[in-house]
Amino acid sequence: MLEDFKKFIMRGNVMDLAIGVIIGGAFSKIISSLVDDILMPPIGLLLGKVDFSNLFASLTSARYATLAEAQAAGAPTLNYGVFINNVVDFLLISLAIFLLIRAINRLTKKQAEAAPVTRACPRCLSQIPLKASRCPACTSEVTPQ
């Protein structure tokens, strides 16, 4: 059983997934910083000096000036500003992953197209493998490549 588990862990798919999760976690922090520190402050300024991370609704009748003050008092709150930041985070991460996968697919497609696996028979012009020494269609001898 231990040997089977070792084979499972060392398979390429599991290792790729582990690496993807680690890189994704680091990438998520970068995007969160981009949203929180670079994008949302100018958007908040354009919308009348709004700090999205501080937008909340208290579920009690008490009034609090900031989200930190409400949380320190132990008041239940709906943190819709934090939710807006998280939605923007998700959209940017999704866009970045889409663009990355799209670029990888383009490179993979170009590599696949660049390596031909067949060639035309000089006698009958049917497609034959590059290493073939005889054409299967007309049986003429060809030089392997």
Tell me: the pLDDT tens digits for 18-52? 778 888 888 888 887 887 788 878 887 887 877 77
Torsion on CA atoms 30, 34, 36, 40, rounded to nearest 10: -160
Q: Please give the residue range of the domain that contains residue 34.
A: 2-114
How far is Cα 6 from Cα 9, in angstroms, rounded to an integer?
5
Q: Are residues 85 and 100 in the same domain?
A: yes
**3-state SS assignment for residue 130:** coil
Side chain identity at 145, as an amino acid letter?
Answer: Q
Across the chain, mean pLDDT equals: 82
What residue type is 133 in one-letter code? S
Whether residue 55 sits in one domain with residue 22? yes
pLDDT of 139 above 70 = yes
The answer to whether residues 145 and 92 belong to one domain is no
- 52 with 84, same domain: the answer is yes
Q: Count how many domains the chain has.
A: 2
92: domain CATH number? 1.10.1200.120
CA torsion sign for 90, 96, 99, 102 is negative
Q: How far apart are CA 42 and CA 47, in angstroms?
A: 9
Torsion, Cα 34 83 71 69, to 10 degrees, reads 60
What percent of the chain is predicted at pLDDT more than 70? Answer: 94
Average pLDDT over residues 62-77: 88
